[in-house]
A and B are shown apart, each in its own frame.
Chain A
Amino acid sequence: MRLNWQRESRWMEGEGPHSDVVVSSRIRLARNLSHLPFPGFMTPSQEEEMIRLAESAIQRDRVTNVAGKLELIPLWELTELEKQLLVEKHLISPELARARGKKAVILSEDEAFSIMINEEDHLRIQCLLPALRLEEGWEKSDALDDALGEELDYAFNEEKGYLTACPTNVGTGLRASTMVHLPGLMLTRQAGEVLTALTKIGIAVRGLYGEGTEAQGNFFQISNQISLGLSEEEIIKNLSAAALRLADQERQARELLKQQRPYFLEDRVGRAYGILAHGYILSSQEALQLLSDLRLGVATGFLPLTLGKINQLMVKIQPSYLQLLYGREMNPWERDVCRARLVREFLKEAA
């Protein structure tokens, strides 16, 4: 199995509606087959059966007409680094990368679609797009789900909807989320208050890599908490509305900073650029924090880079990407040196 690890994922393009605050939008549909136990209780041969069924389904015309060519990647054939890279590109969950047994992921050529097989549920159909594009993501996922649903017998009952391993996903099986970048709210110390308010209206707030991860570099994931009793369109409308409100408040905070603390933002962005362009040792945590500042500079228009370039760097500074790029396993110190070199060269080329 050769993983096309250097390929850019669709979400990394960066541009789109409200991209000054919203990095990406994700739709995730949890689906299970009616005749198999849920993944936590499957035998190895049942896991293999699930993978075979998915593999034959994605070759059908009605599926490829919607999603284009899809490729199934057996995760047990990948190295640890390659699996971690898929996590770094937000294509699979950290849990799936860690899991033993027969797990797989299906990717579309532009990596907008990724379908995790035998994670918590048999199928987790995901569509990941740049900027605020929840409606578009839903339309695409809905179409792929319809096509797959003609090939596979989904576990469904009319009262509870799509049946999932965890009852917190039952019903629509839908988790819609957006990754938002909130340096303004963090710098003006409003983020806590604003995000707490979101949790009161049924919206969950998480860190950079989803459930159970911490917020780094002022990046947060917001998603719907409830999956039952609302239609998919309602869930998506609610989350879109929340993301729009959040984007508004973030812009106000940035504006406030500009007015009340002249040159503060410019200085912050300039210093971040200086370290990134000239440093020789760079930890991933520091890099992420500095890239957060750089992103703010691009979003507010005083740094002549693109959001796409920032997104590329966000992935390239990650430990697994670096080690794959340099073709060997490295200790943390070697990584910090190589990371600094990569960023220096990247910024020189981009300038």
Chain B
Amino acid sequence: MLCQRCQQKPATVHVTKIINGQKSELYLCQDCAKELEPQLSFSLAKFLSSLLDQISEPSRGEPMGERVCKKCGLTFQQFQKIGRLGCPACYRHLASQLDPLIRRTQRASRHRGKVPRKLENRKRVRLEIERLRDKLQQLIAKEEYEKAADVRDRIRYLEDCLRRQGCNL
């Protein structure tokens, strides 16, 4: 469809005006639209930020089909444009759209390499807690309550350590 004003360029802007209940529609090209309705000139930044404002209002929820990272506000569309994610949490919040893409480009979906030392440590602490719980049961069965109390305190301490470190994604 050609622009209704200049009849030369393709119409890319659809303007609907309702004045006093009278509805009028216009199909314009980008240039004519800018001339006639300067406030309409399309700004991607404004568009995105208005979208983000909308999303951050909890009552409205997500707009149709638009996934957004709840931590940094990046949308999947933004990611597609710039090719970079906003924060580590994007992997979780945009998973439904990101995961197929990762499977396609990497031809795999599960990590099989090394694990950070800190997580290894957490795993080790979890195992240690399990071991101490068994020991606690044994000590209680043997009625060695003083020793059992020590072990119980140690378990509490380790559990506290895990909690204080927080959960890494």
Q: In terms of DSSP, what is the predominant structure of the interface of chain B?
A: loop
Q: Is there contact, CB below 8 Å, between A158 and B111?
A: yes
Q: Is there contact, CB below 8 Å, between A38 and B86?
A: yes
- Determine the chain B residues whose CB is within 8 A of the CB of A120 once the complex forms: 84
Interface residue from A32, A37, A150 paired with B72 (Cβ < 8 Å): A37
- Determine the chain B residues whose CB is within 8 A of the CB of A34 once the complex forms: 88, 168-169
Q: Is there contact, CB below 8 Å, between A153 and B85?
A: no
Q: Is there contact, CB below 8 Å, between B84 and A142?
A: no
Q: Bound complex: CA of A348 vs CA of B112, how far in Å? A: 53
> Closest CB-CB distance, B114 to chain A, in whole Å?
6
Q: With an 8 A cutoff between CB atoms, is A345 at the interface?
A: no
Interface residue from B82, B87, B106, B169 paired with A226 (Cβ < 8 Å): B106
- Determine the chain B residues whose CB is within 8 A of the CB of A157 once the complex forms: 91-92, 168-169
Sorting the interface of chain B by its residue count into under 10, 10 to 19, 20 to 34 or 35 or more gives 20 to 34
- Determine the chain B residues whose CB is within 8 A of the CB of A153 once the complex forms: 118, 168
Q: Bound complex: CA of A153 vs CA of B118, how far in Å? A: 8
Q: Bound complex: CA of A231 vs CA of B113, how far in Å? A: 4
Stretch with Cβ within 8 A of A (4 or more), from B10-18, B29-37, B57-65, B97-105: B97-105
B110-145: which residues lie under 8 A (CB-CB) from chain A? 110-119
> Closest CB-CB distance, B85 to chain A, in whole Å?
6
Looking at B107, B112, B116, which has the most chain A CB atoms within 10 Å of its CB? B116
Stretch with Cβ within 8 A of B (4 or more), from A19-27, A162-170, A215-223, A322-330: A162-170
Q: Is there contact, CB below 8 Å, between B101 and A41?
A: no
Q: With an 8 A cutoff between CB atoms, is A8 at the interface?
A: no
Q: Is there contact, CB below 8 Å, between A156 and B82?
A: no
Q: Is there contact, CB below 8 Å, between A156 and B108?
A: no
Q: In terms of DSSP, what is the predominant structure of the interface of chain A?
A: loop
- Determine the chain B residues whose CB is within 8 A of the CB of A226 once the complex forms: 106-108
Q: Bound complex: CA of A231 vs CA of B168, how far in Å? A: 22
Q: With an 8 A cutoff between CB atoms, is A172 at the interface?
A: yes
- Determine the chain B residues whose CB is within 8 A of the CB of A230 once the complex forms: 108, 112-113
Q: With an 8 A cutoff between CB atoms, is B7 at the interface?
A: no
Q: Is there contact, CB below 8 Å, between A156 and B84?
A: no
A229-264: which residues lie under 8 A (CB-CB) from chain B? 229-232
- Determine the chain B residues whose CB is within 8 A of the CB of A165 once the complex forms: 84-85
Q: With an 8 A cutoff between CB atoms, is B83 at the interface?
A: yes
Provided the pairs A157-B91, A167-B101 are in contact, do residues A172 and B116 lie with their beta carbons within 8 angstroms?
Answer: no
Q: Is there contact, CB below 8 Å, between A154 and B116?
A: yes
Provided the pairs A41-B74, A226-B107 are in contact, do residues A167 and B102 lie with their beta carbons within 8 angstroms?
Answer: yes
> Closest CB-CB distance, B165 to chain A, in whole Å?
8
- Determine the chain A residues whose CB is within 8 A of the CB of B87 once the complex forms: 36-38, 41
Looking at A160, A227, A231, which has the most chain B CB atoms within 10 Å of its CB? A160
- Determine the chain B residues whose CB is within 8 A of the CB of A349 once the complex forms: none
> Closest CB-CB distance, A124 to chain B, in whole Å?
14
> Closest CB-CB distance, B30 to chain A, in whole Å?
29
| CB nearest neighbor in B for A229 | B108
Q: Is there contact, CB below 8 Å, between A159 and B105?
A: no
Q: With an 8 A cutoff between CB atoms, is B50 at the interface?
A: no
Q: Is there contact, CB below 8 Å, between A41 and B117?
A: no
Provided the pairs A41-B87, A168-B105, A171-B106 are in contact, do residues A156 and B117 lie with their beta carbons within 8 angstroms?
Answer: no
Q: Bound complex: CA of A168 vs CA of B83, how far in Å? A: 10
- Determine the chain B residues whose CB is within 8 A of the CB of A229 once the complex forms: 106-112
Q: Bound complex: CA of A249 vs CA of B38, how far in Å? A: 64
Q: With an 8 A cutoff between CB atoms, is A136 at the interface?
A: no
Q: With an 8 A cutoff between CB atoms, is A274 at the interface?
A: no
Q: Is there contact, CB below 8 Å, between B111 and A166?
A: no
> Closest CB-CB distance, A342 to chain B, in whole Å?
40
- Determine the chain B residues whose CB is within 8 A of the CB of A145 once the complex forms: 114
Q: Bound complex: CA of A291 vs CA of B87, how far in Å? A: 44
> Closest CB-CB distance, B145 to chain A, in whole Å?
37
Q: Is there contact, CB below 8 Å, between B83 and A166?
A: yes
| CB nearest neighbor in B for A157 | B169
Provided the pairs A37-B72, A168-B105, A228-B102 are in contact, do residues A146 and B88 lie with their beta carbons within 8 angstroms?
Answer: no
- Determine the chain A residues whose CB is within 8 A of the CB of B111 once the complex forms: 158-162, 171-172, 228-229
Q: With an 8 A cutoff between CB atoms, is A149 at the interface?
A: yes
Q: Bound complex: CA of A167 vs CA of B98, how far in Å? A: 8
Q: List 19 A-B contacts (CB under 8 A).
A: A38-B84, A149-B116, A156-B115, A156-B169, A157-B92, A157-B168, A163-B91, A165-B85, A170-B102, A171-B108, A226-B108, A228-B106, A228-B110, A228-B111, A229-B108, A230-B108, A230-B112, A231-B113, A232-B114
B residues sitting closer than 8 Å to A (CB atoms) are 72, 74, 82-88, 91-92, 98, 101-102, 105-119, 168-169
By Cβ-Cβ distance, the 5 closest A-B pairs, closest first, are A229-B108, A161-B111, A155-B88, A172-B113, A228-B106
